[in-house]
A = this chain, B = another copy of it.
Amino acid sequence: MHPFDTATELEPIAAGLVRGHTEPQWANMVGPFGGITAATILRALEVQPERVGEPVALTVNFAAPIGDGEFEIVTEPARSNRSNQHWIARLRQVGETKTTATALFGTRRDSWSDTEAEAPVAPTPEQTGPQKPSEFAPWLRNYDMRIVDGAAPADASQARAESTTTLWVRDDPARTLDHAALTGLCDVFFPRVFLRRGGFVPAGTISLTIYFHADHRQLRIVGEDFVLGRARANHFGGGYFDQSATMWSRGGALLATTHQIVYFKG
């Protein structure tokens, strides 16, 4: 089984209740990588028998660190309409809420379409070449990440005037893209404050929102290929910063836009 599927595997317990477990190889500094938690919650919603349509929007709030071991995810269909469905989810351990989420599922219709966000101009992932995974945390070894520009600086002399990182990324080993995997990819960017301050600063995502633009067919076309992501902070202050990112297929399709607010010290 692919490590991503192992980490997001869920056991049905009762109506609206599934059980999952943390995986050491997805560990972050404290608790699991946020992207795998968000992906697991999305999957907990996808497997509900009442679920209609595909993911359109997801907000995940990282309320407290998830401890090693089992957790349960409670899912509640808050509202079902003709073409969309709203969910509330929470991840608990020993009765304590660790993560909350809301999600919108919907059916996509043919409509006028256009992309205004600009795709990054970047060399191909092959031209960029493989890079040694950062030793920062175990979860990074689950991704083949090829930073085109804006790598994490080693020290303050490498601090930058702006916080943009552009990178190619895919699961490692390769795995066909789906909405859960794309959810993980949306959270792979190291904290933007590192780039600005030139090195490590304690930081953690508190709330993550993803707008999915691609349906399952478009994701299947991406297949096992790399996704091109670009992230940038908007504002730092008061101990928080927010980040916006776009995730693109090699062919230039905008797969998702994603935003997060991050706590930092320093």
Q: Give A residues with C-beta under 8 Å from B.
A: 56-57, 59, 61, 63-64, 78-79, 81, 83-84, 86, 88, 90, 96-98, 100-102, 104, 106, 108-117, 162-163, 193, 196-197, 206-207, 209, 211, 213, 215, 232-240, 242, 244, 246, 254, 257, 259, 261, 263-266
Is the CB–CB distance between B240 and A106 below 8 Å? yes
Task: List 13 contacting pairs A-B, 8 Å CB cutoff, sorted by A.
Answer: A59-B102, A63-B86, A79-B96, A84-B206, A84-B263, A88-B100, A106-B206, A108-B238, A110-B239, A114-B237, A115-B234, A211-B234, A211-B240
With known contacts A59-B59, A78-B90, A115–B235 Cβ distance under 8 A: yes
In the assembled complex, the Cα of A143 lies from the Cα of B124 at a distance in Å of 48
Copy number of this protein in the oligomer?
2
Contacts of A215 in B (CB 8 A): 238
With known contacts A242-B257, A259-B211, A236–B113 Cβ distance under 8 A: yes
Q: Known contacts A116-B163, A234-B254; can you find 7 more A-B pairs with CB under 8 A?
A: A79-B96, A84-B263, A88-B88, A102-B207, A115-B237, A116-B232, A211-B234
Q: How far in angstroms is the closest Cβ of chain B from A163?
A: 6
In the assembled complex, the Cα of A53 lies from the Cα of B88 at a distance in Å of 24
Contacts of A106 in B (CB 8 A): 206, 239-240, 263
With known contacts A100-B102, A206-B104, A259-B259, A117–B234 Cβ distance under 8 A: yes
In the assembled complex, the Cα of A89 lies from the Cα of B249 at a distance in Å of 36
Is the CB–CB distance between A112 and B206 below 8 Å? no
